[in-house]
Structure 1
Amino acid sequence: MKASYKKYILDFKRPSGTSRGVMLQKETWFIILEEQGKFGIGECGLLKGLSIDDVPDYEKRLAWVCDNIAVGKTSLLSQLQDFPSIQFGIEQAFLSFASDHPFRLFASDFLEKEQPININGLVWMGDERFMHEQIQRKINDGFTCIKMKIGALNFETELKLLRSIRNEYSKEQIELRVDANGAFKSDEAFERLSVLAELDLHSVEQPIAPGDWKTMQRLCKNTPLPIALDEELIGVSDVTQKESLIRTIKPQHIILKPSLIGGCQRSQEWIDLADKYGIGWWVTSALESNIGLNAIAQWAYTAGSKIPQGLGTGSLYKNNFDSPLQVEKGNLYYRQNKTWNVNLIRILCT
């Protein structure tokens, strides 16, 4: 078996804002396995400024993986605890290579019977007018769950936007989630959660920066609004550590991004703990191309969560890979009558 890697730059259709800044492009990497005309492919969805493996020697680590591919998946994964996006890429690549079709990784009714995955509509940060336009578009497109990123605008402006939705749509009509990306200061977080709770929100993601378990524990214990941990899970790879985090903080929900926490197998460890301690969970993409998104979506369906997932990011890029993934009326489908853009994929494999 021969292994190689390739970098690919994804171009956003329009600037996409978070509390950490505005993104115009996203760098991603692919691992390609080849043997006797058969190939497998996996995406290493590195997210600059957030992934723990956003380090200067990232490409060297990819080269090392390719040089040592003969040792096999299990051995490679065990030596890459500090590179969760590469772990996920390897996991995908071996599943892809072993499959009868390189992009059908997890057998399920999502693939075979076009059963949908309910997803949230994502509203990016921007000026008030832009965000309001996004919100209205998502509602018009049939989404019943909307996730809005907050923390970059004036808080009162963000509240005004949320109130405008809630004044028109009840919580039974539109589920609202907000993602603070750790933007709230510790001494202001509880007050802001109290104000947000008046809007009948489903949850708030990562209200304060990760790493302060004591403050997060206090917030989760006293919060009037369910809290979902996101960035808090990044870098916690050992199962004992994972359980310690869950037992210490006792969050209402956790959010699983396989590219940031080591792939589907490592994500399943979090699910098992969440189920053990009665904690809600859902799966979210981390701005991968359709190749990584496809793997996450197929696995997420088999994982069995029935609430809206965060998997509606495939249309963000100008130069994404055409795929059978299609968003329609707030659901993600794998359409049998659509195919992968083989020409673009061949470029990756040369």
Structure 2
Amino acid sequence: MKATYQKYILDFKRPSGTSRGILTQKETWFIILENEGKRGVGECGILRTLSSDDRPDFEEKLKWVCQNIHIGPQELWKNLLEFPSIQCGVEIAFLSLESHHPFELFPSEFTSGKESMEINGLVWMGEESYMKAQIEEKLKQGFRCVKLKIGAIDFEKELGLLQFIRQHFDEHSIEIRVDANGAFHPKEAIEKLNQLATYNIHSIEQPIAKNQLESMVELCEKTPIPIVLDEELIGVFSIENKRKLLERVKPHYIVLKPSLVGGFTGANEWINFADELQIGWWITSALESNIGLNAIAQWTFTLQNPMPQGLGTGGLYTNNIGCPLEIYNGRIQYNPSISWDTKAINF
């Protein structure tokens, strides 16, 4: 077996804002496997400044993987505990290599085009007018669940945007999720959550920054809105620590990005504990190209979670990999009549 890797820079169609700054490009890495005339490809979707494997030896570790590809996916996964995006890329690459078709990793009613999945419409941070335009567009596109990134512009203006939605749609028509990406200060968080609660919010992701465990425990106890852990899960590698974190904080939900939590194997560990502790969960992409998004969407379908998933990021880039994933009426579907176009990565 031969393994190679390559870097690929994705260009955003327009700058996209989070509370951590404005994104214009997204770096990603592909692992390509070749064995007995077959090929497979996986994506290591690192998110700089957020992924726990954003470290100087990242590329060195990719080289190590390619040199040791013969030890197989399970052994590689164990040796890559501190490199979750590479764990994810290796898992996808082996699934791709071993599949009948390199991009149909989990054959199902989804990949046959017979079934689709509900997803949330993502509204990026920006000027009030830009955010309002995005909200109107998502509602027009048939989304029943919208997710707003908050915490970057004036909080009163963000409340105004929520009021704008609720003037036209109640919580039975449109589910609103908000994601603060850790933007609130612990001392002001409960007051802000109380204000948000008046708009019948479904949930808030990561209201305060990670590693403020006592404050997060207290928030989860007192909050009027269900709290979702996101960044808090990043960098928690051992099974024992995963269980400890969920038992201690008792969040209402967790959101799982396979590229940030060790691929499907790592995500399944979190899901098992969450189910045991009656904590809800859903799956979100982490701005991967369509190679990673396709794998994550197919895997997510097999979990049969009825909640809207966070898989609507495929249309963000000008130079994404052409693929059969489509978004229609607030749902993601796989259209088998559309061919893959992988010329950009020589696959």
> Normalising by structure 1, what TM-score?
0.98
Aligned to 1:101: 101
Query: Which has the larger displacement, 271-280 or 324-333?
Result: 271-280
1:88-127 correspondence to structure 2 within 5 Å: 88-127=88-127
Distance 1:63 1:280 in 2: 37
1:147-186 correspondence to structure 2 within 5 Å: 147-186=147-186
Aligned to 1:235: 235
Aligned to 2:51: 51
Query: Which has the larger displacement, 109-118 or 277-286?
Result: 109-118
* Unmatched segments (≥5 aa) in structure 2: none
Alignment partner of 2:225: what SS?
A: coil
Distance 2:279 2:338 in 1: 37
Distance 1:225 1:52 in 2: 28
Alignment partner of 1:60: what SS?
A: helix
Supply the AA of the counterpart residue of 1:68: N
Query: What do the CA deviations read for 1:86-145 (whole angstroms, capped 9, x no partner)?
Result: 000000000000001000111221112430010000000000000000000000000010
Distance 1:114 1:10 in 2: 30
Alignment partner of 1:228: what SS?
A: strand
Distance 1:64 1:237 in 2: 20
Aligned to 2:304: 304
Supply the AA of the counterpart residue of 1:86: I
Supply the AA of the counterpart residue of 1:70: H
Supply the AA of the counterpart residue of 1:310: G
Aligned to 1:13: 13
Aligned to 1:284: 284
Distance 2:141 2:248 in 1: 40
Distance 1:128 1:228 in 2: 25
Alignment partner of 2:111: what SS?
A: helix
Distance 1:19 1:8 in 2: 25
Aligned to 1:42: 42
Structure 1 residue 196: deviation in Å? 0.4
Supply the AA of the counterpart residue of 1:278: Q
Distance 1:239 1:59 in 2: 26
Distance 2:28 2:114 in 1: 28
Q: Deviating runs (4+, > 3 A) in structure 1?
A: none
Alignment partner of 1:166: what SS?
A: helix
Aligned to 1:23: 23
Query: Which has the larger displacement, 131-140 or 65-74?
Result: 65-74
1:187-198 correspondence to structure 2 within 5 Å: 187-198=187-198
Distance 1:85 1:113 in 2: 28
Distance 2:188 2:30 in 1: 41
Distance 1:113 1:86 in 2: 29
Aligned to 1:71: 71
Aligned to 2:3: 3
Distance 2:315 2:235 in 1: 28
Number of equivalences: 347
Conserved in 2, the CA contact under 8 Å of 1:10 and 1:318?
yes
Aligned to 1:60: 60
Aligned to 1:293: 293
Aligned: 1:203 with 2:212: no
Q: Percent identity?
A: 56
Structure 1 residue 304: deviation in Å? 1.7
Distance 1:322 1:31 in 2: 18
Conserved in 2, the CA contact under 8 Å of 1:114 and 1:336?
no
1:75-90 correspondence to structure 2 within 5 Å: 75-90=75-90
1:131-142 correspondence to structure 2 within 5 Å: 131-142=131-142
Supply the AA of the counterpart residue of 1:103: F
Distance 1:173 1:78 in 2: 45
